[in-house]
Amino acid sequence: MVFGAIFDRSIQEQKPLSLIRNSDRDFWFGIISHYNDDALEVKRYDTFGEFDGFLVYETDEVLSVEFDDEYEEMLTYLISENSFLAHNPDSKLDGLGSNWRYHVLSTLSSYHLPLDIIENSKAHVGIVKHVDFEIVEMECFGSMGDDFGSLVFKLEDVSSICYYSRKIKKAAILHEWRKRNKK
């Protein structure tokens, strides 16, 4: 079997793999549980590092296998942090006040929470560094934790603020992971 040694390593070391299924780079990410010449079973994880069931399918569907790359490192880290991603905390707000944008952002910034702020129909994910009655300054990052630098925009242009979503928590976890692992 072509991938036998890699599958054995996944089973023995509980090492996740990306199993590429077709030329469109469609893949499953997980740990091999069992395999033979005809079929394999994968303990799958989704892009949030959450267990997503066991999948059994034909071994011939695997065109290639990727491992020991940054994606595997990030997803393995998300799997280890999954209890944080799944945690459902209480609201941090004590009300909205007359200037809800300022009240919400100043309250949440004191907790250093990652936020998703919609400003003029554009989404910005990051940590609020400064807010006053006119402007918001954010340290921004992408969904995979990439550093996007700082951004300043008008407070009045904010139409919504989201916090504690899985998407935001994942981006923040990966942002911190990237900062720690910067080479």
pLDDT digits (tens, 9 = 90+) for 69-80: 988 998 898 888
Reported as a pLDDT band with limits 50, 70 and 90, residue 174 is very high
pLDDT of residue 95: 73
Determine contact, residues 105/161, Cβ cutoff 8 Å: yes
For the whole model, what pTM was predicted?
0.74
pLDDT for position 85 = 67
Q: What is the average pLDDT value for the chain, to the nearest integer?
A: 88
pLDDT tens-place string over residues 134-168:
999 999 999 999 999 999 999 999 999 998 888 89
Give buried/exposed letters for 100-132 (b at 16+ CB in 10 A, else e).
ebbbbbbbbbeeebbbbbebeeeebbbbbeebe
CATH of domain 4-85: 2.30.30.100
pLDDT of 98 reads 81
- Which part of the chain is CATH 2.30.30.100? 4-85, 90-180
Q: How far apart (Å, rounded) are the C-alpha atoms in residues 163 and 168? A: 7
CA 43 to chain centre: 19
Say which range, 5-14, 16-25, 163-172, has the weakest mean pLDDT. 16-25
Q: Is the model's pLDDT at 40 over the cut of 80?
A: yes
d(CA 165, CA 179): 21
Q: What is the CATH number of domain 90-180?
A: 2.30.30.100
Best mean pLDDT range from 54-68, 91-105, 125-139: 125-139
Query: Hey, which bits of 7-134 come out as E strands?
Result: 17-20, 27-35, 39-45, 51-58, 64-66, 114-119, 122-131
